Chain A
Amino acid sequence: MIARALYLVAAWFSVSMVVTLVVGTRLRRTHFALSFLWLASVLAVGDVWALRTFGLPPEVIALTGLAAVLGVGCIVWLRDWNAFGQVAWLTTVIVTPLFLVYAYSVITAARLTPASFLAAQMFLFVQTVAALVALTQMYENLDVNCRVRWRNRIDRIQPAPGFTPMISLHLPAYDEPPEIVQGTLRALAALDYPAYEVLVIDNNTPDEKTWRPIEALCRELGPRFRFFHLEKWPGFKSGALNFALTQTSSSAELIGVVDADYRVDPNFLREMVPAFTDPRVAFIQAPQDYRDYTPGSYSEAIYYSYEYFFEVPMPVRNEHNAIIFAGTMGLIRKSVLQEIGGWSEWCITEDAEASLRVLKLGYKALYYHRSLGRGLMPCTFAGLKRQRFRWCFGNIQILRKHWEALMPWAHWIDPQNRLTQAQRYFYLAGLVQWLTDAFNVAFLCFLVAGGMIKLFSSSFTILPTTFPWITLSFIFILLNIWRLVWVIRNALKLSLGLALRSLYGMFSVGWVVAIAVFRGAIQSKTAFLRTPKTMGNVRVVNALFATQWEAGIGLLCLGMGAAVLALADRSPNTYFIGGLLLWQSTLYLAAPAYSLFYKACNL
C-alpha cells in the first residue's frame, strides 16, 4: 500500500518538478484559477497513470483528496508564487515524508540482523534530518525563481533631500597590504556625502612597515580620517570594531562597516541613507561584490558562488524581514548597536550574530538589491577554504548560542523575544543549511561501507534497498542537482556551463564546511582566520597540499566506485552504489582542480 502511494506521489512530484524546471520561471503572473487548473492537471496525470497501473485502490483516492485540499491551501498561502512553484512545493512536501515512511517500513519489514537493523536505522535518521534541511533549500529556490510579486524588494531608495545624518565608517584592518587599504581609503575619500568620518582601526598588525603608510595616508586625507593602531588587542575584528565605537563621533547617527579591501562607489552613502528616515529601520545591507575575477576562469565560477547568497537567500529573507547584517557594505543605526551592547567578541561572524540580536528587539532590516562596492575574493583556494571555515564555524556558534530564541515556542518562554515565526524559521533554516555538507560526509561513510560490503562480503546489509527505493532515490538526486543548476542559472543569469562550474565551486569547499560543522559542534571558540589578500606562494605542490584530504577522499571514492562496478554482482544495487561513489568522487576532486586553477586578486 505504501509503495503504491509513494509511486503515485512520486509521479506527481516528477511531473510538477520537471515542468517547473523547464518553464517554471516563464510564467510571470499568478491567479487562483490558473494554479488550481495546474494542480488538477498534475494530480490527473498521476492518477491516470496509477489507475492504469494499480487500478483504483483506496489509497489513490485518499491521497488525491488530501493533495487537492493541501494544494488549495498552498495556492492561498503562496499567493505571490506562480502556479508551477505552488504545485512543485506541494508535491515536494507530500513526497518527502512519504518516502521516509516507506524507507522505515522497508527496514522494519526486512529480515535484518540486529547489527544491520541498527545501521539501517542510523541511515534513516541521517536521511530524515537531511531531508528536512533539503526542504528548506527547496523552498528558498522555488521562492526566488517562481515568485512573481516581490513585496519588499528594494532596487532604488527614494531620495530624502536634506536628510544627511552623520555617519561613522569603521574600517578594521589586520595585517592588510597597505596598497590595498590605500585604494579603499581613497575611494572613501571620494564619497559623495556631506557628513561622515572614517575610523581606521589597525589591530595587531605585527610589522610597523605595514600600518605606517596607512596612517600617513589618513593624515593626508584630512581630519575626516582617523587612524588607530592597537597592539595585542583582544576580540579579533569585533574587538577592533568595539574600540571604534568608543571613538565614534558623538554626533554620528549611523555606523558603516567597510572591509579593508572594498572600493565603494561614490554614491554608497547617498543612496542607502534615506532608508533610515523610517525610525524602525535598524540596518540596511547592500550585496557584497567582487572585482578580482577574470571572465572564463575558475575565479569567475567562484565569484558566482559568492553571488548566490546575495541573489537567492537574501532576497527571499528580505521578504520576511529576516536578512543578516553581512558586515561590509552595510549601515547600522548607532543607537541600536549601543542598545545591543556592541559586537560580540566570542563570535567570529559577529555581523550575522548582531543582526539576530537587533531583530530580536523588533527592529526592521532592509536588503538593498544593488551593488555599491566591490572587494577582493581570497587570492588562493587555501584562502577560500579559510574564509568558508570561518563563516561556517561562526554560524554554528550562533546556532549553539541562540537556538532557543529560534524555536517555535521561543516567544512563550521569553516574551522579550520579538522575532516573528517567519524570522525564526529563516534564521534557523539559514543556520542549519550549513549542515548539508556534514550530512554529505555522513552519506559518504554509508556509501563507502556499502561499497566495502559489495566487494568483500554479501552477508551483511546496511540498508535493504528495494527497486522503488533505488529508483526514487535516483530521481530525487537527479532532480535535486537539476534544481540547483536551475536556480543558479536563473537567479544569476548564467549559461549552463558557468552555472555548473559555480555549482562545483560550491561543492569544492564542502569538506572544509563539514570540518567546521564538526569542530563547531565540539568547540565553542576558534581563532579568527583572516582572509589573505596577497598571492603568497601558490605553486602546484602547495595548491595540491591545500586540498590533500579532498583529493584523498575523491580518489578513494573513484577507486571504490570503479571497483564496485567492475567486480561486484550485476544488480541495481551495485550500479546505484557504484554510480553514487563515482559522483561523490567528482565533488571531492573538484577541490584539487579548483585549487590548481583558481587564481583571484587579479588587480
Chain B
Amino acid sequence: MRDDLTQNFERPLNANPAPSLRYEGEDDRSYIVSRIDGARLTIPKNRSVPQPFIDNPPQPLTPAFRLLVAAFLGLAPAGLGTIVLAPLAILWSLAMVFTRPLSRSDRKRVVAVCAIAAVMLALAIPLSELFLARLSS
C-alpha cells in the first residue's frame, strides 16, 4: 500500500512544485504530511475518539443483551424461542454477577436484563402453551 501511495502521490507532487499537502510517509498509526509552508503534520489514521464500531471491546453483558434480542424475536414463533432464550439471558447475566467484578452500571444492566427477560417470558409462556396444546391434540 505504501508503494502505491508514494507512486500515486509523487507523480502529481512532482508535476506541481507547490502542492497543497505533501505526503512524507506513514507508519501503522499515522500519516506524515507537509503543508505548503513546510510545516510537518502527523495525522493519526484513526481519528475518531469513539472506538470504531467493529472493534468495540465486548462488554461483560453483551452476550446477555444479544440473547435478549434473540428472545424478543423468539416471541414471533408462538414464544417458543423466548422460552429457551430468555432464561439463558437471565442465567448469563447472573453468571456474570458471580464470576466477574462488575461495575455499578453493569450490575444495573443485570437487573434490566432479568426484568425484561421475565416480562418476555410472561408473554411467551401462554403463547407456547397454546401451541403445545394444538400439537398434542
Contact = CB atoms under 8 A, between A and B. Distances in A.
A193 interface: no
Nearest to B41: A246
A231 B11 CA distance: 12
A409 B77 CA distance: 28
B43 interface: yes
Given A345-B47, A346-B52, A401-B53, A114 B5 contact: no
Given A344-B48, A357-B50, 15 more contacts: A112-B134, A114-B131, A117-B130, A121-B77, A125-B76, A208-B12, A229-B19, A231-B23, A341-B48, A342-B47, A345-B47, A346-B53, A346-B54, A401-B53, A524-B53
Contacts of A226: 20
Contact of A117 (B23, B45, B76, B131): B131
Nearest to A115: B134
Interface stretch (A136-144, A235-243, A485-493, A502-510): A235-243
Interface in B1-28: 1, 4-5, 8-9, 12, 19-21, 23
A413 B108 contact: yes
Contacts of B108: 409, 412-413
| A interface, size bucket | 35 or more
Interface in B33-47: 41, 43, 45-47
A413 B116 CA distance: 14
A118 B78 contact: yes
B45 to A, nearest CB: 6
Contacts of A113: 134
Interface in A548-587: none
A37 interface: no
A231 B53 contact: no
Given A114-B134, A413-B105, A229 B50 contact: no
A185 to B, nearest CB: 15
Nearest to A208: B12
B131 A118 contact: yes
Given A121-B131, A413-B105, A345 B41 contact: no
A397 interface: yes
A121 to B, nearest CB: 4
A577 to B, nearest CB: 21
B75 interface: yes
A121 B47 contact: no
Contacts of A227: 20
B5 A242 contact: no
B21 A229 contact: yes
A170 to B, nearest CB: 14
Interface in A229-261: 229-232, 234-235, 238-239, 242-243, 246
Interface in B82-126: 105, 108-109, 112
B32 to A, nearest CB: 13
Would you list the 3 A-B pairs with minimal beta carbon distance, nearest first? A341-B49, A346-B53, A125-B76
Contacts of A38: none
B127 interface: yes
B77 A122 contact: yes
A345 B8 CA distance: 24
A229 B78 contact: no
B118 to A, nearest CB: 14
A372 B43 CA distance: 34
A243 B5 CA distance: 18
Contacts of A308: none
A496 interface: no
Given A229-B21, A242-B48, A345-B47, A108 B130 contact: yes
A238 B46 CA distance: 11
12 contacts: A122-B77, A125-B75, A208-B12, A226-B20, A235-B48, A342-B47, A342-B49, A346-B48, A357-B50, A407-B112, A413-B105, A525-B54
Nearest to B73: A125
A414 interface: yes
B53 A525 contact: yes
Contacts of B50: 341, 344, 346, 357
A343 B46 CA distance: 11
Interface string A390-425: 000000010011001001010011100000000000
Given A232-B5, A413-B112, A243 B134 contact: no
A215 interface: yes
Contacts of B19: 229
A409 B54 contact: no
A340 B50 CA distance: 8
A226 to B, nearest CB: 8
Nearest to B12: A208
A364 B20 CA distance: 37
Nearest to A415: B105
A231 B134 contact: no
A232 B4 contact: yes
Contacts of B52: 345-346
A407 to B, nearest CB: 8
A347 B20 contact: no
A246 B43 contact: yes
Contacts of B109: 413
Taking each of B54, B76, B135, which has the highest tally of chain A beta carbons within 10 Å of its own beta carbon?
B76
A231 B8 contact: yes
Contacts of A342: 47-49
B105 to A, nearest CB: 5
Interface in A98-120: 108, 112-114, 117-118
Nearest to B5: A232
A232 B31 CA distance: 11
Contacts of A114: 131, 134-135
A202 to B, nearest CB: 9
A238 B50 CA distance: 13
B112 A243 contact: no
A126 B76 contact: yes
B20 to A, nearest CB: 5
A228 B20 contact: yes
A239 B47 contact: yes
Contact of B47 (A228, A243, A347, A409): A243
Contacts of B23: 231
B8 A397 contact: no
A104 to B, nearest CB: 9
Contacts of A232: 1, 4-5, 8
Contacts of B1: 232
B48 A238 contact: yes
B106 to A, nearest CB: 9
Contacts of B53: 346-347, 397, 400-401, 524-525
B12 A243 contact: no
